[in-house]
Amino acid sequence: MPPRSRRRKRHPKSISTQGLTGQRGVNFIERIALEMGSRWTPNGPNEVGIDGYIELFDPNSHLPLGLTLAVQSKVVTAIANDSNPTFDYWCDANDVEYWLNGNTPVILVVSSPASNESYWISVKDYFKDWKPAEPARVTFVKGQDRFNPDSFRLLVAIAAPKPGLYLAPARHQETLHTNLLPLDACPARIFIACTDCRTPHDVWASLRATKQEADAGWVLWERKIFSFHDLSEEPWSSICEVGTVEGFATAEWSESSDGQRQRVFVQLLNQTLKAQLSPEVRYWPQEDCYAIVGRPRKLSYQSLRRPSKITVVSLFSATAADGRVFEWLRHMAFRGQFRFLEGQWYLELTPTYRFTHDGHALDRFHEDRLKGIKRIEGNRAVLSSLLFWADYLQPNTTLFGVRPPALQFGQLLTFSSDVGIVDRAWLSDDPDFARDTELNAKQLLLPDFEDGADS
């Protein structure tokens, strides 16, 4: 029998799939650190729970801040349940115990390089009350915990020695939208005429008696009617003394330094706006707002990036303990204030809501519902509402018919800034921020924005 060969079977050299996956996660973190203007130092092959360190640098001066964080990278093939606003990651209890020892700030980054996603938490903050016998689950909120260059200031807050550190604003080109809508044009002349009517009620009674169409675009002051309408024509001539009708250049009132003239002009602008928006949008004096009336529906508007749709009237319902069903409607609305700033008239828009039980009459829980929605309303909802109203007020044949409206508005006033505010950084100390982010992600209670282009 021939002797057995002592030579071992040879295997070709190969690279570990697990090692490749882990390195992709580390490379992903390094790329984000470099985009922050900071430095990444890997720990090498003998790491036992810390993959590397991020040394933070001021993004403007590029000077070191003397702040370092330890980083543990974990890679998943895909973020579970892409449609959900959250996902869970289970840590090894031994890792957590190791991370909590010592006073070095540690962050855990869970990434999916293939889908270009990564999320993070501060280990010492997240597990501050953790006990070794407890499960080590981390629930990531996608809208809040994304690891990207905007995480820089939160990393500084974690790594900085107390009481803190001041950093210059990060360079970030940003367009700031105001809530000021310029009044680009209005009728060239204001007509004034004497009248026997003593109150607005008398004026309306006289106008109804003519059985001719008339709107609210007029002001009664000191037994005189002020309007952009020609008061020598019907139905106005029937309530005015025709021989007293005079026309004045609008600029004599709009640019006047006389306080009383300006007040009358603002009243005329307000009345004309009410008439112009009727009947789809009505002014409600009790709530001091303009609100869309009617049943549930959506309307189109121009968002920051593309045409979109927004729910302007929404239907809600609740079932009582005895089985009765209660319904109410939420109507998009705005408060409007005309302001004269640096030689230009603007309509200041403040988005709000009006709650009704039938499309018109105020719901008895209006105040409570309004307070509730304002508590969870985020920047995106306010901006989208503002853009909707700015677009709605633009002159177009669909809304105002063939004739151009009396008051013609331009685009919202904007400013450009060389520095920007990272919203999540300054909101991070708000205990309700995470809850509100999740509510917004699920679009609970807030208007339905179809394309998300205003975020």
The more confident residue out of 71 and 162 is 71
With a cut of 80, say whether residue 420 has pLDDT above it.
Answer: no
Question: What torsion, rounded to 10 degrees, do the Cα atoms 223, 226, 232, 235 define?
Answer: -80
Helix (H) or strand (E) holding 270: helix 259-277
Q: What is the pLDDT of residue 80?
A: 57
pLDDT: which is higher, 169 or 10: 10
Asked if the model's pLDDT at residue 249 lies above 50, the reply is yes
Q: What are phi and psi of 409, to 5 degrees?
A: -105, 150
Which residues fall within 8 angstroms of residue 188, CB to CB, at 6 or more apart? 249, 250
| Cα–Cα distance for residue pair 295/317, rounded to 1 Å | 14
- Higher-confidence residue of 416 and 225: namely 225
Q: Give me the pLDDT at residue 444, please.
A: 40
- Quickly state the pLDDT bin for 106 (edges 50, 70, 90): very high
Contact between residue 173 and residue 413 where contact means Cβ atoms under 8 Å apart: no
pLDDT, residue 228, reads: 95
The pLDDT assigned to 8 comes to 61
pLDDT at 3 over 70: no
Work out the mean pLDDT of the chain and round it to a whole number: 84
393 vs 5 pLDDT, higher one: 393
CA 172 to CA 83: how far, in whole Å? 30
Residue 400 has what pLDDT? 47
pLDDT at 330: 94
Residue 275 in this model has a pLDDT that exceeds 80:
yes
Q: What is the pLDDT of residue 402?
A: 55
How many other C-beta atoms lie within 10 A of the C-beta of residue 438? 17
Mean pLDDT of 264-287: 95
pLDDT above 60 for 434: no
Distance of CA 222 to the CA centre of its chain: 44
Specify the pLDDT at position 5: 55
Q: What pLDDT does residue 331 have?
A: 95
Query: pTM of the predicted model, to two decimals?
Result: 0.61
Other beta carbons within 10 angstroms of residue 99's beta carbon come to: 22
pLDDT in tens, 72-86: 999 987 775 567 888
Asked if residue 283 has pLDDT above 80, the reply is: yes
CB 73 within 8 A of CB 109: yes
**Among positive and negative, which fits the CA dihedral 205, 206, 210, 213?**
negative
Instruction: Please report which confidence band the pLDDT of residue 268 belongs to, taking 50, 70 and 90 as the band edges.
Output: very high
Q: How is residue 57 annotated by DSSP?
A: E
Rounded CA separation 96/149 (Å):
25
| Structure-block tokens of residue 172 | 């970030």
* Chain CA centroid to CA 32, Å: 26
Q: Residue 244's pLDDT band (boundaries 50, 70, 90)?
A: very high
- 3-state SS of 116-132? CEEEEEEHHHHCCCCCC
